[in-house]
Amino acid sequence: MNIPILESAQGTHVFIGGKSYLNMCSNNYLGLANEPRIKKSAINSIKQYGVGTTSVRPLIGTNILHIQLEKQLAGFKKTEDALVLTGGYLANLAVVQTLLSKEDIIVSDEYNHASIIDAIRLSQVRNKFIYSHNNINHLKSLLPQINKLQKIPKNDGTYPKTMIISDGVFSMDGDIANVPQLVTIAKQIGAILVIDDAHGEGVLGNHGRGIVDHFGLHNQVDIEVGTLSKAFGVIGGFITGKKQLIDQLRKARQFLFTNGLTIPDTAALVESVNILTESDERVRQLWQNATLLKNGLKNLGFNIGESQTPITPVIVGEESSAQYLAKSLFDEGIIVSAITFPMVEKGKARLRLIPSSLHTQADIETVITTLKKVGSEYALK
């Protein structure tokens, strides 16, 4: 299918080609992308401060709103400090490239997001260990090799640093990383633990504080990478953690050599964080909708995998089946994503449904009955 072009705001219903569609595939988990309070904050900020920053942050491109947002995010995540960049993708590049060099060691889950894979490439780290997806036993089996490398001094005489990096929520299956075990292993081998919480923020934990809050592991994960373009509803990425590490990241090339967020983006995000901090109503509504959707599909016999989050895969196997089903749903007025190779392995093609807090019970029921109508033949085997 062609890229859908929206003629309306992002929301539970969107206009494409003059027609209204029920939207089941954006990452607008909490419906904040078109929230009036957030829009008002952006508009007011433009009146006061204009639009662009016209300089990189360290020169003259930092507005008080950037500082306010970073303070709020550090508070929201219950960490010492935060740094905001223009995307989650860039945030991963910044973390890996800045903290590691060629002779260091990185340990990464095989299903990690593309931005982590690219970050590892960019850092040119030579000692790479990729463990089977969420397989702690496999990770443990790599430790003797890692220990050996850790004892070989680098050219400058110091010993290599080790980083363990994982998505918190895996975006294709909706399963979550075993963060408690990763914390234990990171401590055991003296590694920096980095968790990318892009699909956890606004979803997991108290008030949507994310996966570290979900597991009650505050201050035990060295760095959390986040995105401001999913549940937070705007654009941007951020990094939270210990002050000493965040200070190091203020020297990241992704901070020094590209402009920061625009004024309205930043003001909008200040209000997003306010909304999440004030109430967990949207998060609870999201989970209610997710449970309704998953139970409905499971009861009909669809294979919805092992998701532990609102991300709802409908696994069909064949690429052509996934594409056929997405097209059939589109013809019925529902828009979902077909996820195929290389986003998932061959033979594991699927639809991916993502409910938002704003969907009504009727919206969710429409999706279930329509999938039953168009999908029985392809997905119910």
Q: Which of residues 212-231 bind ligand PLP (CB under 6 A)?
A: 227, 229
Q: Are 197 and 233 in contact (CB under 8 A)?
A: no
Among 88, 202, 260, 296, binds ligand PLP (CB under 6 A): 88
Which phi and psi angles does 62 have, rounded to 5°? -100, 120
- When asked if residue 337 is in the footprint of ligand PLP (CB under 6 A), the reply is no
Considering only 15-23, 68-76, 125-133, 196-204, which stretch makes contact with ligand PLP by CB under 6 A? 196-204
**CA gap 364, 355 in Å, rounded:** 8
Taking residue 59's Cβ as centre, other Cβ atoms within 10 Å add up to 11
Task: Name the residue nearer to ligand PLP (CB basis): 182 or 292.
Answer: 182
Shortest reach from residue 113's CB to ligand PLP, in Å: 4
SS3 240: strand
Per-residue mark of binding to ligand PLP, 351-370 (x: CB under 6 A)? --------------------
Site string for ligand PLP, 89-108 (x = CB under 6 A): x-------------------
Q: Where are the alpha helices (DSSP H) in the chain?
A: 36-49, 64-76, 88-99, 114-123, 136-150, 179-189, 211-214, 243-249, 253-256, 263-278, 281-299, 319-331, 361-379
State which of residues 14, 198, 311, 336 lies at the interface with ligand PLP (CB under 6 A).
198
Q: Show Cβ contacts of residue 120 under 8 Å, excluding neighbours closer than 6 positions.
A: 96, 106, 108, 128
Report the nearest approach of ligand PLP to the CB of residue 62 (Å). 20
- Containing 315, the helix (H) or strand (E) segment is strand 312-317
User: What are 197's two structure tokens?
Assistant: 């919480």
Q: Does 196 bind ligand PLP (CB under 6 A)?
A: yes
Chain residues 102-141 in contact with ligand PLP, contact rule CB under 6 A = 113, 115
What character string, x for contact with ligand PLP (CB under 6 A) and - otherwise, covers 8-27? --------------------
Q: How far is the CB of 197 from ligand PLP (least distance, A)?
A: 8
148 burial type by CB count under 10 A (0-12 exposed, 13-18 middle, 19+ buried): exposed
CA–CA distance, 149 with 67 (Å, rounded to integer): 40
**Which residue, 227 or 289, is less far from ligand PLP as judged by CB?**
227
Decide if residue 254 touches ligand PLP (CB under 6 A). no
With both helix axes pointing from N to C terminus, report the angle between 88-99 and 114-123 in degrees, rounded to the nearest 10.
Answer: 30
When asked if residue 166 is in the footprint of ligand PLP (CB under 6 A), the reply is no
Beta carbons within 10 angstroms of residue 372's beta carbon: 16
Using CB under 6 A, count the residues that bind ligand PLP: 13
Is the CB of 237 or the CB of 375 nearer to ligand PLP?
Answer: 237
Map tokens 């680098």 to a residue.
154
Contact status: 260 vs ligand PLP (CB under 6 A): no
Query: Least distance from C-beta 144 to ligand PLP, angstroms?
Result: 29
Select the span of 133-141, 193-201, 241-249, 283-291 touching ligand PLP (CB under 6 A). 193-201
Residue number, 311 or 349, with CB nearest to ligand PLP: 311
Return the half-sphere exposure (C-beta side, CA atoms, 13 A cut-off) of residue 2.
5
Asked if 87 is part of the footprint of ligand PLP (rule: CB under 6 A), the reply reads yes
Among 167, 173, 201, 213, the residue binding ligand PLP under the rule CB under 6 A is 167
Residue 227 vs 357, nearer CB to ligand PLP: 227
The minimum distance between CB 112 and ligand PLP, in angstroms, equals 8
Number of DSSP helices (H) and strands (E) in the chain, helices first: 13, 13
Hey, CA dihedral for 310, 291, 133, 77, is it positive or negative? positive
> What minimum distance in Å lies between the beta carbon of 228 and ligand PLP?
7
* Residue 3 DSSP one-character state: P
DSSP state of 191: P
Closest CB 167 distance from ligand PLP, rounded Å: 5
Cα 9 vs. chain centroid, distance in angstroms?
A: 21
For ligand PLP, the binding residues (CB under 6 A) are: 87-89, 113, 115, 167, 171, 196, 198-199, 227, 229, 237
